Amino acid sequence: MQSALRDEGVSLEDLSTFFLDEADRVMRLDYEPSFDDILRARLQTTGVEEHHLRMETGAENGEHWIFYDVGGSRGQRASWVPFFEDVNAIIFLCSAAGFNEVLAEDRNVNRLVKMFLNCLPVCGLTEKQLDSFTTWKTICSSKLLASVQFILLLNKMDLLDARLKLGIQFSDYVKSYKEENDSEHVTEYLKRKFNAIHRHHSPEPRKLHVHCTCAIDRNTMSAVLLRIRDTILVTHLTAMELI
């Protein structure tokens, strides 16, 4: 069924059964999407989208955040650069569960693996390990972004955990991986690889902040966003020599 839907241009991301399980509710004439429906929906970003968010609760009440969301698929990447110049921080989302997925735009290229292409000497990975690491390396190397705060979100931790618990072997896809097949060890491995690329390719030394996330979990994401806010604030105060 998944492949039949894909042939029709319908994508059921991550083999999610969420909307199929909810079909009765979703097909009602008076259906209104819940917060969870919105978080589960797959809406591909095309070009660059500007989002203004005004916080409505807690200490952040009234605060105004501007996000620029850039499409992650290959065809969208060329449009990123002009928007980078004035940003305070780059939040790079990488699916930690992408190790056994291929790109929709090129089914010969592994999603995580595609991250690693030009980083082989740094990572010691095989030629199969390409996409997210390649993109990460390109962004880290940018001179335009030398003074921008970098924040890495290793996302889809729930799916990573579920896949490893199903017995899918990370080492079958990432040949240099020799550790245990659990999310703790795999996550540490990914952090080391991303950190190595960042350290090796940044034009000037800078700190990298890494968070493990599940973007569909609103509670943990709001805590992560607060920590990101604090990181950006501290970086700015330090730059202005106020702390």
Partner interacting with residue 22 (select from Mg ion, ligand GTP, none; CB below 5-8 Å by kind): none
Instruction: Give the C-alpha separation, 178 to 174, whole Å.
Output: 9
| 153: contact with ligand GTP by CB under 6 A | no
Which residue among 14, 101, 131, 161 contacts ligand GTP (CB under 6 A)? 14
Cite the DSSP H helix spans in the chain. Answer: 2-7, 18-21, 23-26, 35-40, 120-123, 131-141, 157-165, 183-201, 218-239
Rounded Cα distance between 121 and 148, Å, is: 25
The answer to the question of residue 42 lying near ligand GTP (CB under 6 A) is yes
Rg (alpha carbons) of the chain, rounded to whole number: 19
Q: Which is nearer to ligand GTP, 4 or 43 (CB)?
A: 43
Pick from 55, 168, 196, 215 the residue near ligand GTP by CB under 6 A: 215
Work out which of 11, 45, 79, 222 binds Mg ion, going by CB under 5 A. 45
Could you say whether residue 84 binds ligand GTP (CB under 6 A)? no
Which residue has 């805590």 as its token pair? 223
17 binds, among ligand GTP, Mg ion, none (CB under 5 to 8 A by kind): none
